[in-house]
């Protein structure tokens, strides 16, 4: 009798359907816990790969279901093509309203080809939730603070990049075809996937007039011939066809807008800066993020994940915006940036306009300039990660990419050159790096870099304002009056109001209230030792404090018509949280 074989996955599915439990490869009892890693996570996720929109949605749903007291999933709107924009609120819901705690905002994947930001953001949710029970630091952090995390704010372009032919540098938006050559047609001459492998690579052909030769160290690579050396190859650009019959190839590619030029701070139109769309916040995804941030004034810190280059960026994006960052704010940024360089090897703390170029209408500048939020943009995947060393740019860095692909990826990131009979160019060869390299992390580097970047955002969240009421003193005065003096301290480096916030009065002042009903005067003390203070004549029971500085304090004083006043004090700060204490 002929034996019949069934796929293992099918057998496992049938057994599960019938109620039969299949064995796991390892049980928790068989695993020796590695430091800093969840031992037995409720949600198992492989962090050495990338997930499309459906995969991200499933992980979000699983985390919210497995940790209902820590993770809440909701949508903030829909993308251009109708995909839900997911946001995960991560906090210990049992210790108070997340909206009343200082908050950290994180997003990723604003650009189509900058995919790993979504995994880095999701890893943060997973790590916080899965470590809450066993890690005292994480538990205390979520008791005191809130995270708002949007894994991808450009899900349409993400799925386009993953599921359709693209290269590592494909248009950032992933849609919006344009007529770049003015012939009245769009997309008629854009790169074509000639060998149908899902990657847009390069075309080359042998030619005695070419200016390239094969690299003797790596025949997959072309290098420029020396001036006195004959070339053997010419590069023809990305693989593609002359679809409109004008004798040109790939001259009318898909146009794009840049979602990171759409934000309403120092916005410039397309003819000044390439990539801007119709007007600020003309993109539905960015509008949804903007509206969410406006509804959550407790956001005091932010991180947006991009790629690549290994950079820890902060504003200003343009030289004209230097006045939005003063000495006090710069000091906070510098302290955080120095920490980031320590925990993320190979990454460099930089200022956009000073160290790169001027950029207008960026998310980074809107968060800081319009909302007064301390914000970083990390450009993920540093070349340093390839061989744990810094290299010069240009030819040396390109050579390292080929060496890394050969020595550690075993050429898995490269489409081997193969012949193709091109209708315009004749016999050519098609090949080159796949779309998942070198901007995207190889799998074995993905989790480590996700963890290091996550650690930086956790540290930034830890340094959000942490308020404490201390040194409450009373002194008897004449005529039945009592003087009450309190010190309100901020035990972290980030103030309750950035200098930009204070300059434009973006957020309301902090409130410090004494609950006694017989208050006759209230003062914000300028120098308590010299008894110098500024009286607040209206509503003296709730004093308005412009700012509680990082690693600093303010003193307040009330005069109360009572021998034994009610010493219940409340501090209510939008970005510093709410603290109530009875003395």
Give the closest residue to 102 by CA, choosing from 49, 38, 44, 147. Answer: 147
Contact yes or no for 382/347 (Cβ under 8 A): yes
Q: Is 231 exposed, middle or buried (0-12, 13-18, 19+ CB in 10 A)?
A: middle
Give the closest residue to 120 by CA, choosing from 360, 318, 347. Answer: 347
Cα–Cα distance for residue pair 558/87, rounded to 1 Å: 43
Cα–Cα distance for residue pair 466/558, rounded to 1 Å: 23
Give the closest residue to 322 by CA, choosing from 281, 368, 290. Answer: 368
Residue 325's contacts (CB-CB under 8 Å, 6 or more residues apart) are 315, 316, 333, 368, 499, 500
Residue 33's contacts (CB-CB under 8 Å, 6 or more residues apart) are 39
Q: Are strands 568-573 and 552-560 parallel, antiparallel or unpaired?
A: unpaired
Contact yes or no for 304/110 (Cβ under 8 A): yes
Torsion sign, CA atoms 67, 71, 76, 81: negative
DSSP 579: E
DSSP 313-359: EES-SSGGGGGGS-HHHHHHHHHHHHHHHHHSTT-EEEEHHHHT---
β-strand partners of 135:
none
Contact yes or no for 525/556 (Cβ under 8 A): yes
Cα–Cα distance for residue pair 521/150, rounded to 1 Å: 46
Contact yes or no for 516/565 (Cβ under 8 A): yes
Contact yes or no for 124/460 (Cβ under 8 A): no
Question: Catalytic one among 285, 379, 429, 447?
Answer: 379
Residue 390's contacts (CB-CB under 8 Å, 6 or more residues apart) are 346, 383, 384
Cα–Cα distance for residue pair 414/429, rounded to 1 Å: 14
320 catalytically annotated? no
Give catalytic residues, as residue numbers. 379
């Amino acid at each position: 009798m002929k034996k019949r074989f069934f796929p293992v996955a099918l057998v496992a599915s049938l057994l599960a359907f019938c109620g039969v439990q299949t064995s796991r490869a390892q049980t928790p009892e068989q695993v020796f816990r590695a430091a800093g890693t969840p031992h037995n996570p409720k949600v198992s996720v492989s962090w050495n790969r990338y997930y499309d929109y459906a995969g991200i949605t499933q992980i979000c749903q699983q985390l919210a279901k497995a940790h209902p007291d820590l993770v809440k999933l909701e949508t903030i709107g829909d993308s251009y093509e109708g995909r839900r924009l997911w946001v995960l609120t991560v906090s210990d819901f049992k210790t108070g309203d997340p909206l009343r705690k200082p908050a950290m905002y994180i997003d990723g994947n604003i650009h189509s080809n900058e995919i790993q930001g979504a995994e880095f953001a999701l890893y943060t949710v997973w790590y916080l939730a899965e470590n809450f029970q066993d890690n005292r630091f994480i538990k205390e952090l979520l008791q005191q603070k809130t995270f708002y995390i949007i894994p991808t704010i450009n899900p349409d372009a993400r799925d386009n990049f993953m599921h359709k032919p693209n290269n590592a540098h494909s248009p950032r938006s992933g849609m919006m075809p344009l007529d770049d050559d003015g012939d009245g047609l769009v997309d008629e001459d854009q790169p074509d996937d000639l060998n149908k492998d899902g990657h847009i690579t390069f075309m080359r052909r042998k030619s005695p007039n070419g200016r390239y030769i094969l690299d003797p160290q790596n025949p997959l690579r072309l290098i420029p011939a020396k001036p006195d050396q004959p070339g053997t190859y010419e590069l023809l650009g990305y693989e593609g066809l002359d679809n409109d019959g004008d004798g040109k190839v790939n001259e009318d590619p898909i146009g794009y807008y840049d979602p990171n030029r759409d934000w309403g701070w120092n916005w410039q139109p397309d003819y000044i800066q390439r990539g801007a769309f119709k007007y600020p916040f003309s993109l539905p995804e960015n509008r949804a993020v903007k509206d969410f941030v406006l509804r959550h004034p407790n956001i005091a810190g932010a991180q947006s994940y991009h790629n690549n280059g290994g950079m820890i960026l902060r504003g200003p994006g343009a030289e004209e915006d230097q006045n939005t960052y003063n000495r006090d704010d710069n000091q906070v940024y510098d302290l955080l940036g120095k920490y980031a360089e320590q925990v993320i090897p190979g990454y460099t703390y930089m200022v956009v306009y000073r160290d790169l170029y001027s950029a207008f209408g960026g998310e980074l500048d809107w968060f800081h300039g319009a909302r007064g939020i301390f914000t970083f943009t990390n450009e993920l995947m540093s070349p340093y990660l390839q061989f744990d060393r810094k290299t010069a740019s240009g030819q040396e860095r390109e050579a390292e990419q080929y060496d890394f692909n050969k020595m550690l990826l075993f050429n898995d990131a490269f489409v081997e050159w193969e012949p193709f009979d091109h209708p315009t160019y004749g016999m050519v060869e098609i090949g080159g790096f796949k779309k998942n390299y070198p901007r995207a992390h190889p799998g074995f580097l993905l989790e480590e870099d996700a963890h290091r970047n996550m650690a930086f955002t956790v540290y930034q969240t830890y340094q959000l304002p942490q308020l404490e009421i201390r040194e409450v003193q009373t002194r008897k005065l004449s005529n039945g009056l009592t003087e009450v003096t309190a010190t309100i301290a901020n035990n972290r480096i980030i103030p309750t109001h950035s200098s930009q916030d204070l300059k434009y009065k973006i957020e309301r002042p902090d409130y410090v209230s004494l609950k006694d009903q017989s208050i006759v005067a209230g003062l914000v003390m300028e120098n308590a030792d010299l008894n110098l203070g500024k009286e607040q004549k209206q509503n003296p029971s709730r004093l308005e404090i412009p700012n509680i500085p990082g690693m600093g304090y303010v003193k307040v004083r009330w005069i109360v018509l009572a021998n034994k006043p009610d010493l219940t004090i409340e501090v209510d700060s939008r970005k510093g949280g709410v603290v109530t204490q009875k003395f």
